Amino acid sequence: MTSGPRKINQVDNDLAIVWLDAKRSKESSNVDYLNRSIDFSTLISHIHVFDDVDQCCEYLLSKDQADKVLLIVSGSIGEKVLPCIHDITQIIGVYIFCNDVEKHREWAGTFSKVRDVFRCPKKLIERIQRDAQLLVHHIIPTNIFSFQNLQQTSLQNVDQDQSTYMWFQLLIDVLNRLPLSHSSRGDLIDESMQYYSNNTIEKRKIAEFNEKYLSSNEAVQWYTRDCFLYRLINRAFRTRDIDSIFKFRYFIHDLQHQLDHLHQEQQLSSVLPTTAYRGQIIGADELKKLQNNVGGIFCVNSFWSATTASQVATSFNMISLGRPYYERVIFEVTMELKQQPDKAKSKYPFANISHLSCNEDEGEVLFSMGCTFRIILVEQFSDEIWYVQLSLLDDSSSIDESLREYYLANHIEEQSSLLTMAYFFDQAGDYERAKRYCQMLLRENPSEDDSIDIHTSLALFEYRIGNFEAAKREGELALKLHLTQKVVDNRLSDIYANLGLVMAELGEYRDAIAYQHESVKIDELVLDEEDEEKAITYENLGMSYHGLGDYPNALKWCEEKALSHMQKYLPASHPGFQRIYLDIGMIYTSMGDYPVARGWLEKALDKAHSILPPLHKDLGNTFYNLGLLCEKTGEDEQGLNYFRQALNIALQSEKEDTTIDLAYIYVSMGAIYDNQGEFDEALRHYELALENLSVDKPEHRQHFATAYNNIGFVHIQQKKYKSALSYLQKAFKIVEKYLPRTHELYTLTLANIGQVYVAQDRLEEALECYRQVIDIRRRTLPKYHKDLAAIYDHLGEAYFKKGIFKTAIDYHKKALEIEVHVLPLEHPSIKSTCKMLADVYKRIGNRKAAIKCYKEPVLMARMCQKINSSLPSVDPKRKKNTI
C-alpha cells in the first residue's frame, strides 16, 4: 500500500522523500507530524509513504538516474532491507526512525549513506531540512562535453549535452529579449504565492517585494536575500522547468540587466575579479565526466555564485553526503579580462556583488546564467576533496555558434515576443508548449493583422502535434483573415504551405501539391534568394509528391532544389539539414534504393544527435525510418532496435497526442514479428496500434487501414482466409475512399486481397486485383524495385496454381532478376523465390533444376538471366510489410 504524493507540482530531476515503515498506519501521527512541520514546497517534489517493501523497492528502481531520494526507514525494516537497496544510486541519504536508538545505531553505522538514527520526530525533521537545503544548493544543471566535438566535421560521437547546451543558450537569448510588462510581474507574484500558500512568513516577503521592488538596481540584493526569489528561481533552473523559468522572466531579466551593468562598470574601473572559488558537492558520475573531458566544456544552466576568498569556499559545510556516490569539489575559476568596446555587453557577464549582496562578508561573485567554461584541470586535492580548475570562455572563443548567430539574426532579433518564444519551442521539438504560448496571445485581443500570424503559427503547431483537423481549421481561418487584406506576401505563402502539409496527412495529396505550388510561386515573387523559407517550401512540395508516389518529382524538389538551396545559404548546423536528409532517405527507401537510402538516413541520425534535443520528434522519426529500412533489407533485429528507440522517445514525449507516432511504431514492430513467424506477437502489436487510434479522428483513417491490412496478412499465413478477407476488405474500404490509387497502401491492400482469392481458388478475381496493382506499380516504381519482385513472385504462384508452369517459371525468374539487383544475396526474399521456382521445376519433373534451386539459391540468383519482355499483362503483388 502506498500513499499518493503530497506535492503540489511534479517536476523531473528533483528531490523526493520516501518513508518506508510497515507499521506506519498504526503510527500515522508521526507521518502527519512530518507533513505539518516541514515546508518542502521549494525543496522536494514528493513525499511517498510505503508500508510494503517490494512496492517501495520497485518505486526506487523506477526512478531516473538523475533523481535524488532521501529515505526514512524504521529500524526493524531498515536492518533487513538496507543491505539490498543501499547501493541504489538515487538514494543519497538514509534516516533511521525508531524507538531504540542505541540498538539500531550499531548496525546502521556500517552503511555510509545513513545520516543518523532518530527517535524524536522534530530532530528528524531538522536534519532532513538541513540536508535538503544543502543538496538544493548543490544541484546545479550543467552540460559537460568535449570541446573538440564543437568543431569536428564528423559528428559520429557527439554527446547530447552539446545540443542541450545550444538550445539552452538560445532560450536565454529569447528570454532576455522579451519585453517586460505588468503581466510578467504578475506571473512572478502569482507563481510565488501559489508555492507559498501555506507559509505566512514567505507570503509577507512576496507582498513586500510586490510593494517595494522598483527597479533592476535592487535585483542582486533581493536575489541574495534568504527568501522566495533565490529558492524558486534556482528550483526552476535545476529542474529545467521552462514554464517556471518563463514565469520568473521579469526578475531574471532585471538580474541579468544589473549583472551586465555591474560587469561593464567594474571592467571600466579595473576592479573585476580575476579568480573565484566555489565549494560544492557533485555526483560521482559528474566528477567522472569532468575527468574525461579535461580541455572540454562546462556550462552552468543557471546563475552561479562563487567567492573571491578561497577560505570561504574550502570552509563551506560540505558534509560527506552519500560517498562514494557524491564527492566534495573546490572549483577555482579564472577569468581572463579583455577590454570591451564602450557599452558592449559581455557574452558571459559576471561581477563582484559583495557590496550589494546580503552575504557581504563572503566576497560573493555572481556569474550569469549560461556561463561557459573550459575545463583545465581535475585532480584529487586531499582524501576528501577534489580540485577542478575552470577558465571562463571569452567572446572570441572558437566554439561554433553559427546556428545561434543565424537564429539571432533571422528569427529572434533585438526584441522577441511570445510568438518568438513559440517559434523557439517549435524548433526545439516542444510542439505542445509552442501551441500553448501562441494561444496566450489570443487572450490579449490581438489585432486582425497579428491574428493572421497567430492562427498561421497555430496551424503549424497543431500539424506537428498530429491534430490535423484542428490544423486545417486554423489554416483556413488564417487564410480567410488574410484574403480580406488583398495582399500577396510571405505570410500567405506560409498559410498555403501549412494547409498543404495538413492535406497530405489527410491523404489529399493532389490538394496538398496544389497548395505547395501556390506557396512556391509566392516565395519566388516576394522572398530574397537566400531566404530559408524557400528551401522549406521546396521540401514540403517534394514530400507531397512522395505521398502521391511520384518519386522523380519528390527527388527533384527535395534533393535538387531544397538541399541545394540549404547548402548554399544555411549554416551547416541548421536543423533543416537533418529534416532534408531524413526526407531524401525516405524517398530512396520508397524507391527501393536501400544502400543510398541508408546513407541519407545515417546522415540524418548523425545530424539529429548533434543538434536536436534528446527527445525531439525528428530524432524519433529518424530511428523509425531506419527501422523500416532494416525491415525491408531483412535486418530484423536491428530494425526492432531502431523501433524500440523510436518508441522510447514517443512514450517519453510531453505531447498530448502521440497516438499516431505510437500506432506507426507498433504496426512496424508487428510487421517484423510477422516476418519472423511470431504471429501472436505480431497481432499483439497490431492491437496496441489500434488501441492508440480513434475512429472519430479523420487523420487516423490511414493508420486504421494499415493495421487492418497487416492483421489480414497474418491471418493469410495462418490460413484463416475468411477472417483475413474481412480485415483486408475493411482496410480497402478506407483506402479506396480516402487515398489516391498510387498510394502504396492502396496497392498493398489490393494485392493481399488477391492472395486470399488465390488461396480460395478464385483465380480470376485474384488476377483482376493483380491487373490493377501491376498497372499502378509499373508506372510509379523504378524497374528494379523489391515490390515489383514480390508482384512477379505472386503472379508466378497464381500461374503455378492454374497449371501454366512455363509462365510461372518466367515470372519467378523475373523476380529473381530484380531481387539480385536490389537485395543482399542472403536476403530471405531471394531464398523464398528460389524455393517457389524449385516447386515449379519439381512439379514438371525437372529434378536437377529443382535441386539446384533448393540447395544453391545464391548461385541460382547469380545465374538468373533476363526474361523476354513479352510477358502476360497480369501481375500479382505480395508484401508482408507495413508502409
3-state SS of 416-446?
CCHHHHHHHHHHCCCHHHHHHHHHHHHCCCC
Q: Would you say 75 and 96 are in contact if contact means Cβ atoms under 8 Å apart?
A: yes
**Confidence band for 9, pLDDT divided at 50, 70 and 90:** very low
Is residue 471 pLDDT above 60, yes or no? yes
Percent of the chain with pLDDT over 90: 44
pTM value surpassing 0.85: no
The more confidently predicted of residues 160 and 63 is 63
Give the chain's end-to-end CA distance (angstroms, integer): 45
Cell of 149: 566535438
Unique residue bearing C-alpha cell 501491376: 774
Give the per-residue pLDDT at 883. Answer: 31
CA distance 255 to 176: 10
Cis link prior to 349 (omega < 30° from 0)?
Answer: no
> DSSP 3-state assignment of 340?
coil
Q: pLDDT tens for residues 535-547? A: 999 999 999 999 8
Q: Would you say 504 and 547 are in contact if contact means Cβ atoms under 8 Å apart?
A: yes
Is residue 580 pLDDT above 90, yes or no? yes
Give the per-residue pLDDT at 212. Answer: 95
Q: How far is CA 688 from the centre of its chain?
A: 22
Is residue 315 pLDDT above 80, yes or no? no
Unique residue bearing C-alpha cell 544475396: 825
Residue ranges in 693-827 assigned as alpha helix (H): 701-717, 721-738, 744-759, 763-780, 786-802, 805-822
Is residue 10 pLDDT above 70, yes or no? no
CB-hemisphere CA count at 13 Å for 18? 27
> DSSP 3-state assignment of 714?
helix
Q: pLDDT tens for residues 767-798? A: 899 889 989 988 888 888 888 888 889 899 99
Cell of 419: 510568438
Find the helix or strand (DSSP H, E) in which 71 lies.
strand 68-74
Mean pLDDT of 58-77: 81
Cell of 569: 545559404
Q: Secondary structure of 348-367 in the HEC alphabet?
A: CCEEECCCCCCCHHHCEEEE
Question: Whose CA is closest to 100, among 71, 65, 76?
Answer: 76
CA distance 460 to 422: 11
Contacts of 232 (CB under 8 A, 6+ apart): 42, 191, 192, 195, 244, 248
Q: How far is CA 19 from CA 36, 66, 96, 256, 651, in A?
A: 15, 20, 10, 40, 29
Give the per-residue pLDDT at 12. Answer: 35
The more confidently predicted of residues 187 and 180 is 187
> DSSP 3-state assignment of 683?
helix
Give the per-residue pLDDT at 115. Answer: 87
The more confidently predicted of residues 237 and 117 is 117
Residue 731 sits at φ, ψ, to 5 deg, of -65, -45
The more confidently predicted of residues 457 and 314 is 457
What strands, in cross-sheet order, belong to the sheet with 68-74?
44-50, 15-20, 68-74, 91-97, 114-118
Cell of 257: 540587466
Mean pLDDT of 223-228: 89
Question: Whose CA is closest to 245, among 138, 159, 359, 141?
Answer: 141
Give the per-residue pLDDT at 153. Answer: 29
Q: pLDDT tens for residues 226-238? A: 889 988 898 888 7
Residue 386 neighbours by CB distance under 10 Å: 18
Question: Whose CA is closest to 717, among 749, 680, 761, 663?
Answer: 680
Q: Would you say 172 and 370 are in contact if contact means Cβ atoms under 8 Å apart?
A: yes
Q: Would you say 768 and 871 are in contact if contact means Cβ atoms under 8 Å apart?
A: no
Is residue 834 pLDDT above 80, yes or no? yes
Between the ranges 59-63, 209-213, 694-698, where is the mean pLDDT highest?
A: 209-213
Spell out where 136-290 has E strands. Answer: 142-145, 275-283
Is residue 102 pLDDT above 80, yes or no? yes
The more confidently predicted of residues 93 and 15 is 93
The helix-helix angle for 701-717 and 659-675 (nearest 10°) equals 20
Q: pLDDT tens for residues 644-682? A: 999 988 888 755 556 678 898 999 999 999 999 999 999
Q: Letter for the amino acid at 214?
A: L
Give the per-residue pLDDT at 66. Answer: 56
Give the per-residue pLDDT at 746. Answer: 93
- The domains of the chain, with CATH numbers, are 15-137 (3.40.50.2300), 147-340+347-404 (3.90.176.10), 710-870 (1.25.40.10)
Question: Whose CA is closest to 228, among 62, 42, 443, 364?
Answer: 42
The more confidently predicted of residues 415 and 766 is 766
Cell of 385: 576533496
Residue 278: beta bridge partners? Answer: 331
CA distance 126 to 132: 10
CA distance 119 to 99: 5
Question: Whose CA is closest to 717, among 755, 768, 664, 681?
Answer: 755
The more confidently predicted of residues 257 and 37 is 257
